[in-house]
Amino acid sequence: MVLTDKKEVLKEIIENADEKLMGLMIALANEYNDAEQEYSLEEIKEFYKIRDEMLAQPETTYTPEQAHQLIRNKKR
């Protein structure tokens, strides 16, 4: 289905939506459009820990290409 078809389907869904569905769709759109991500101090520490481990032992991590291939194969 191409983007224009998806938009048409979504328009039909919106036209027939009840209050609950419209609330969910608005919340989803707001979350999607929220460009600012806020991370806790613990999350940031964990990011740095993972980064440091990867830099210390690069042979134990995947290349971006390997990671993409693994992700694609899991979907099948």
28-63 confidence digits (pLDDT tens): 888 888 767 788 899 999 989 988 888 888 777 777
To the question of pTM greater than 0.85 for the whole model, the response is no
Distance CA 75, CA 68 (A): 11
Domain of 11, in residue numbers: 1-36
Distance CA 62, CA 10 (A): 38
pLDDT in the model for residue 72: 85
Count of domains observed in the chain: 2
Query: pLDDT class for 4, splitting at 50, 70, 90?
Result: very high
| Mean pLDDT score across all residues of the chain | 85
Closest among 43, 52, 35, 37 to 61, alpha carbons compared: 52
Query: pLDDT class for 75, splitting at 50, 70, 90?
Result: low
Are 8 and 20 contained in the same domain? yes
Can you read off the two tokens belonging to residue 46?
A: 């964990």
In terms of phi and psi (left: phi > 0; alpha: psi -120 to 50; beta: otherwise), the region of 40 is beta
Are 26 and 42 contained in the same domain? no
Are 42 and 26 contained in the same domain? no
